[in-house]
Structure 1
Amino acid sequence: MSLDVITSPLLSGMTHGFFGRAGGASSGVFHGLNCGHGSSDQHDVVTINRARVAEAMGVAPDMLAGVHQIHSADVVVVTAPMSPAPKVDAMVTTTKGVALGILTADCQPVLFADPKAGVIGAAHAGWKGAVSGVLEATVAQMEALGATRADISAVIGPTISQTAYEVGPELRDQFLARDSAFARFFSRGKGDRFHLDLPGFGLDRLRASGVGQAAWTGHCTYQDAQRFFSYRRSVHKREADYGRLISAIRL
């Protein structure tokens, strides 16, 4: 089975892709293209999956860079894949031949590019990282490498949609503690529950950072089990673990 690769016209000219779960070697709850070595999937099988992604990106398997994601707002400049992987949630580079790969399973994968300056970035933006400023930090680090904010295009890939993302009042309170205007990203649910518009919040943060173009591909990870892995769906189904999707970009 061939790989399922979602691309965006905003990143045309850059080799990139938001990869679905099709075309992988994993089985069971990980069936498909599980690219997370942090899962309980077989290490060798995940390595095969990542090699397939690297081939699709036009790089050697050892040139697919990743980080140890911790839901932070921290960014690292990458010139080559690092071992051990740094504990951050975003990467930027001006180095050709290195693909930046972010893992998600409901959180936002965000790919960035300023083709004029030759600067790219990739960020993992769950609610914690997003409200802490990981997207703004990625744009700032790209600017430090020579990018111009108005020339940056940023695309949010498959992520959990507002309809599927029920949260408690304590999470909403953390957003409002940052800015009371963030209340507009929450809709009322049952009882004391709310629904968070995570991609809507991500787009707002990207536009506030001054990027020239920002978009969401419109795909919900939770609602399409055939195409995407979802942490929240795995919890609701009481599954032991879940696969990780990968999103990647290179110069």
Structure 2
Amino acid sequence: MTSESVDVARAAVLEGIAHGFLGRKGGVSTGDVAGLNVGHGSGDDPALIAENRRLAVAAVQPDARLVTVYQVHSPDCVVVTEPWDDDARPQADALVTDRPGLLLGILTADCAPVLLADCEAGVIGAAHAGWKGAVAGVTDRTIEAMISLGAKAARIVGAVGPCIAQPSYEVDTAFHDRLVALDAANMDLLEPGKSGHYQFDLEGYVSRRLEAHGLAKVERLGLDTYAHEDCFFSYRRATHRDEPSYGRQISLIALR
């Protein structure tokens, strides 16, 4: 689905909620970060980033105020009651709110973006779940923060957006051993790969953490950021190519 030439993937479970998982198409950046790059840390021209962010907001909820955090791969979640300027962003990796007009934004470039909503309570959340944050409990904290605002787990629906897929996500034995030590059930998320390596299902892991809370429904979009260069930015792809920088896409959700 597109809006103003910006690609917006939407989740069926979030129907009726203003939201979107955006890729790289439709933006104004050029070079290695060509497209809808919204990442301040990418080294891109700030004016182009600002225009890309404007286009992203316009594609999802034009009259809302974008709110993002300074992401650090933590489990930390903040409750948003009013917007803040970009230079005042708190360090965290998830946001929740019960205030209409605030557009919660999460930036990713292989990590899993998670959007959540309890429509009856009027509470939404957004989380940045890379493996570090996911293992540390960023989605758990997000759900807990939503509940503190009146949501109920059994009413919450969630969607896991574009992220690096299992065939593209190679990890080593140390990663395998750490994940299995945390929970033996994680073994089925690690497919044997080349000698001493495994393929990790990040989307499956994040979904499992969400489902453990008894949510009403969890949807997986099944979109691989690494494999689809024309659609998404990818940190790992850029690293494998020794590119000097990489772009970030954004996922957004708001109460109307």
Q: Give the TM-score range, shorter chain.
A: over 0.9
Correspondence for 1:86 among 90, 96, 106 = 90
* Structure 2 counterpart of 1:80, one-letter code: E
* Structure 2 counterpart of 1:134, one-letter code: V
Asked if 1:97 is matched to 2:92, the reply is no
Hey, what does 1:239 align to over in structure 2?
Answer: 243
Hey, what does 1:33 align to over in structure 2?
Answer: 36
Alpha-carbon distance in 2 for matches of 1:182, 1:236: 27
Asked if 1:65 is matched to 2:67, the reply is yes
Asked if the contact 1:59–1:99 (Cα under 8 Å) also holds between the matched residues in 2, the reply is no
Task: Using the TM superposition, give the Cα deviation of residue 181 of structure 1 relative to its aligned residue in structure 2, in angstroms.
Answer: 2.0
Alpha-carbon distance in 2 for matches of 1:152, 1:187: 30
Asked if 1:107 is matched to 2:111, the reply is yes
* Structure 2 counterpart of 1:226, one-letter code: D
Hey, what does 1:75 align to over in structure 2?
Answer: 77
Hey, what does 1:193 align to over in structure 2?
Answer: 197
The secondary structure found in structure 2 opposite 1:142 is helix
Alpha-carbon distance in 1 for matches of 2:141, 2:92: 11
- 1:102-130 CA-to-partner distances (Å, cap 9, x unmatched) read 00000000000000000000000000011
Task: Using the TM superposition, give the Cα deviation of residue 60 of structure 1 relative to its aligned residue in structure 2, in angstroms.
Answer: 4.9
Asked if the contact 1:64–1:101 (Cα under 8 Å) also holds between the matched residues in 2, the reply is yes
The secondary structure found in structure 2 opposite 1:38 is helix
Alpha-carbon distance in 2 for matches of 1:129, 1:87: 13
Task: Using the TM superposition, give the Cα deviation of residue 131 of structure 1 relative to its aligned residue in structure 2, in angstroms.
Answer: 0.8
TM-score of the two chains, using structure 1 as the length reference: 0.97
- 1:51-92 CA-to-partner distances (Å, cap 9, x unmatched) read 11112222457x100001111111000122224111110000
Alpha-carbon distance in 1 for matches of 2:27, 2:83: 22
Asked if the contact 1:59–1:98 (Cα under 8 Å) also holds between the matched residues in 2, the reply is no
CA RMSD of aligned residues (A): 1.1
Asked if 1:49 is matched to 2:52, the reply is yes
Hey, what does 2:26 align to over in structure 1?
Answer: 23
Hey, what does 2:9 align to over in structure 1?
Answer: 6
* Structure 1 counterpart of 2:99, one-letter code: T
Task: Using the TM superposition, give the Cα deviation of residue 177 of structure 1 relative to its aligned residue in structure 2, in angstroms.
Answer: 2.8
Runs of 4+ displaced beyond 6 Å: none
Asked if the contact 1:105–1:159 (Cα under 8 Å) also holds between the matched residues in 2, the reply is yes
Alpha-carbon distance in 2 for matches of 1:113, 1:128: 23
Structure 2: unaligned runs, 5 residues or longer: none
TM-score of the two chains, using structure 2 as the length reference: 0.95
Asked if the contact 2:98–2:149 (Cα under 8 Å) also holds between the matched residues in 1, the reply is yes
* Structure 2 counterpart of 1:58, one-letter code: Q
Task: Using the TM superposition, give the Cα deviation of residue 9 of structure 1 relative to its aligned residue in structure 2, in angstroms.
Answer: 1.1
Alignment of 1:212-231 (within 5 A): 212-231=216-235
Task: Using the TM superposition, give the Cα deviation of residue 140 of structure 1 relative to its aligned residue in structure 2, in angstroms.
Answer: 1.0
Alpha-carbon distance in 1 for matches of 2:74, 2:28: 31
Aligned length: 250
- 1:132-165 CA-to-partner distances (Å, cap 9, x unmatched) read 1111111111011000111101000000100000
